[in-house]
Amino acid sequence: MRRAVSKPTRSIGIFGGTFDPPHFGHLIAAEHVRQHLGLDEVRLVVANDPWQKDGLRTITRAEDRVALVEAALLSNGVKTPPAPGPVVSRVELDAGGPSFTIDTLQTFRRAEPTAEWFIIVGADAAAGLDSWHRADELRQQAKVIVVNRPGPHGTDDPGIAPKGWQYETVPIPAIEISSTGIRDRVRLGHSVRFLTPDPVIALIEQLGIYRQEP
Ligand code: ATP
Ligand code: MG
Evaluate: CB of 34 within 6 angstroms of ligand 1. no
Half-sphere exposure of 193 (CA within 13 A, CB side): 1
The alpha carbon of 9 and the centre of ligand 1 are apart by a number of angstroms equal to: 29
Residue 132 belongs to some domain of the structure: yes
CB 10 within 8 A of CB 40: yes
| 63 falls within a domain | yes
Q: How many CA atoms lie within 13 A of 113 on its CB side?
A: 1
In a domain, 147, yes or no: yes
- Tens of pLDDT, residue by residue over 138-172, are 999 999 999 999 876 655 565 578 899 999 999 99
In a domain, 210, yes or no: no
Q: What values do phi and psi take at 107, rounded to 5? A: -65, -45
pTM: 0.94
Domain membership of residue 110 (yes or no) is yes
3-class DSSP assignment, residue 11: strand
186 lines ligand 1 (CB under 6 A): no
Q: What is the CA(87)–ligand 2 centre distance, in A?
A: 19
For range 124-137, the mean pLDDT: 95
179 lines ligand 1 (CB under 6 A): yes
- Compute the CA torsion angle 149, 154, 155, 159 (nearest 10 deg): -80
Q: How many CB atoms lie within 10 A of CB 200?
A: 25
19 lines ligand 1 (CB under 6 A): yes
Residue range 110-115: mean pLDDT, rounded? 96
CATH number of the structural domain spanning residue 18:
3.40.50.620
| CA 17–ligand 1 middle distance (angstroms) | 7
Q: Which ligand is nearest to the CA of 178?
A: 1
Query: 86 CA distance to ligand 1 centroid (A)?
Result: 16
Is the CB–ligand 1 distance for residue 124 below 6 Å?
Answer: yes
Quickly list H helices, the chain: 24-37, 62-72, 91-95, 101-111, 123-127, 135-141, 179-188, 198-207
Share of the chain above pLDDT 70, in %: 88
Q: Which residues contact 2 (CB under 8 A, 6 or more apart)?
A: none
Average pLDDT of the chain to the nearest whole number: 91
163 and 186 in contact (C-beta within 8 Å)?
no
Domain with 31, as residue range(s), is 11-205
Q: Is 139 in the pocket of ligand 1 (CB under 6 A)?
A: no
| Within a domain: 211 | no
35 within some domain: yes
Pocket test for ligand 1, best of 14, 18, 200 (most atoms within 8 A of CB): 18
* SS3 call for 42: strand
64-85 residue pLDDT tens: 999 999 999 987 666 656 667 8
State yes or no: pLDDT of 3 exceeds 60.
no
In a domain, 192, yes or no: yes
Atom of ligand 1 nearest to the CA of 122: 20
What's the number of domains the chain is made of?
1
147 lines ligand 1 (CB under 6 A): yes
